[in-house]
Structure formats: C-alpha cells, structure tokens
Amino acid sequence: MKPVKFSIIGGAGFRAQYFLRIAEALPETFQVSGIVVRNESKARAMEERWGVTTYRSLKQLLKSESPDFIVVSVSGAAGMEYLFQLAEAGIPALMETPPAPDLEGLELLHDRLTAIGARVQVAEQYHFHPIQEARLALIRSGRLGRITETTVSISHLYHGVSLIRKMLGITFEEVKIRGMRFQSEWVQGPTRQGPPTEDAMIPLQRDLAWLDFGDRLGIYDFTKDQHRSWVRSNHLSVRGERGEIFDSRILIQQESTIPLQMELKRINKGELENQEGYFLQGILCGDQWLYDNPFAPARLYDDEIAIARCLQRMAEYVRGGPEFYSLAEASQDHYLGMLIEKAILTGETVASTRQRWALDRP
C-alpha cells in the first residue's frame, strides 16, 4: 500500500511534532504533505528542522497540497473552527484531544458535523500503547472471564476514562461518580518542559474517583505529572471472574482448578549480544504473543508507537475502514472527565445522562 499523505494544522506545537517524528522514522508509511504554522519565524525553523513546506493558513495549504487527511493539532477551541472548515471541504480530519473545551462545544461539534456528514476521528493514543494493547488482547481472549473491575492510574481525566471504558467494555452506559482529592507534598520531578533543575518540594494533589456502572466498577487515580515522575509509578489492574491483570502480572484459575501465574514480558531487540538493531519486537505472555509491534524495526518509544497506530488506523478509515476512536467516544470520555472533576470539587455523587452524541449508539 502506498504511503498515506497527511497535513498538519498547528505544526509548531509540542503534540504536532510527534507526527513529524513518526513520519521521519517511517517514510515508507507516512508522508507529511505540508503544515500550517501561522508564525513566520516558527515556520522557518520548522522548514529547516523537518524539511517540510509550511503555509500560513489552511486556505493556502489546500491550494498546493492534496492530503488524504489533515491532523488538527491545536487547542480544542481553535480546532473546532478548523473542523468545520475541513468538513465543508469534504476533507477527513484527525482531531487532537479533547475535541472541544466544554460540554457546549461538544454538543455543537456533534450537531454541525453530523449534519454535514463529516469524517472525523480523534487521536486518543493511550489504548494503543503496546502494554495496553497486550492487556486488551488478553481480555478479548476470554481467559479472565467477564471483566468487572479496573483501576487506572496512568494519565489525567479523559485519557484515564478512555482506558477505564476500554478495559471494562463500556461504551455509553450511564454511570454514578464519587470523588475526592488528597493533598500533600512531593519532590518536583520532570514536566513537559524537561527534567528538574533544582531539588524542590511542591504541593501534590492526588485525585481519586469511583465510576459505578452498576455491574462494573472503574477506579480513577491520578496525581499531576505522575506519568513523568521519577518517584511515582503508573498502575493498571483488571479483575475478571477467572483472574486478574495486575500491571505486568497475570493470575488465572483454570477450569481444571490449576492456577496460572504469568507475566507480560517486553521483548526488545538489540539487547546483550543481539545485533538486529534496538526496537520493541512485542509483548509475550507465556508462549503467546499478545502484541506484535507493527512498526518494527523503527526506533520509536511507546507513545510514538501509539500515535503512529492512530495515523495507521486513520489511513484505513479514510480508505473505507471502520472507526477507531470516534468523535462520539472522545466526547463521552471528555464529558465523564468533567463529571469526575465536578465530583471531586463538590464532594457529591454525580450521575451522567445520555448525551446527544450517544443517542443512536449502543
């Protein structure tokens, strides 16, 4: 299959450069067909660093480029207007998270884009991380039985909610949410700007929420910048009728009553005497591959692999394939994330209601 061509709006931003790195590492799969950078000096720097053509507006880009789809990598408020322009032009869009800043914006997006018949997916990458794909493959195998609980301590709000839904097999079911915040102090660690430059103690806020779907329970647990911290660990567990996943440990009681104890084992090439290059090959569980890296031997780290998977699935979608993370899903996760914040701040139990984007979905 020939490489997919995509353009980027907001190409000078932190998130947009993920897509540029991926295209640079996988030129036979992805090609960047121009980027929109409004600032002239930033545009010149992007052209020099990445060897791409920049434009000051979407209108200019569309005069010269014919992408298969466009990545909208700007804030939710600014991104909405770009989505409307692309929908009117009939161009598929891969939108960054969250797709709109608030509930009113989510409703507006749904109404206008549905009326136009827009083709939009959202670049939520967390369920495409190799470890999450391996866990989901084990869940789909049925070896854990029916899944009833998950605890997710990975990332904030809508990212965490997306993993809770995926692990539990939840779509748009209603939920009751309780929450709390615990405050203490911890040592300042890395942030988006980089590693710490001095040893300093800063306030810590740990947010916890219990999402009760009636027959399934999701527990949300996140501390700001936890996913970058050197002294706080991420955690995810899944409990089913026959066993559980606890981070990388698998416990299953078989019908023979013989217990299984296994591990999700990352297999990297290039370690010790191996000379095949350095990359993730996949994740093993016992004698079974639960995850094969589709981008091996490219040297990408897990978050880049996950975003590359979003691009790959978007390419399949625009060629007639299925949705992979729809605007409705993204809206639901952001909506539940906002309810988590409300439950934490008010101390009240908050109940979701079925929103307009979910009315025609199971």
Range 133-150 average pLDDT:
98
pLDDT band at 240 (very low <50, low <70, confident <90, very high): very high
Residue 22: closest CA among 78, 62, 73, 56: 73
pLDDT band at 155 (very low <50, low <70, confident <90, very high): very high
Mean pLDDT of all residues belonging to the chain: 95
**Full-model pTM:** 0.95
Lowest mean pLDDT among 67-81, 154-168, 323-337: 67-81
The pLDDT of residue 156 is 94
Residue 15 has pLDDT above 90, yes or no: no
Q: Name the DSSP letter for residue 3.
A: P
CA distance 12 to 246: 39
Just give the CATH number of 127-298+309-318.
3.30.360
The pLDDT of residue 94 is 98
Regarding the domain with residue range 4-122, which homologous superfamily does it belong to in the CATH classification? NAD(P)-binding Rossmann-like Domain (3.40.50.720)
Range 50-76 average pLDDT:
94
Range 295-313 average pLDDT:
97
The pLDDT of residue 75 is 78
The pLDDT of residue 360 is 84
Per-domain residue ranges of the chain: 4-122, 127-298+309-318
The pLDDT of residue 193 is 84
pLDDT band at 8 (very low <50, low <70, confident <90, very high): very high
The pLDDT of residue 361 is 84
Residue pair 97/74 in contact (Cβ under 8 Å)? The answer is no
In 143-176, which positions are buried (b, 16+ CB within 10 angstroms) versus exposed (e)?
A: bbeebeebbbbbbbbbbbbbbbbbbbebebbebe
The DSSP annotation for 132-167 comes to HHHHHHHHHHTTT-SEEEEEEESSSHHHHHHHHHHH
The pLDDT of residue 228 is 87
Residue 33 has pLDDT above 90, yes or no: yes
The pLDDT of residue 191 is 85
Range 79-108 average pLDDT:
94
Give 173-213 pLDDT, tens digit per residue.
Answer: 999 999 999 999 999 999 888 899 999 999 999 999 999 99
Residue pair 86/118 in contact (Cβ under 8 Å)? The answer is yes
Beta strands 243-246 and 288-292: pairing type?
unpaired
Range 333-353 average pLDDT:
98
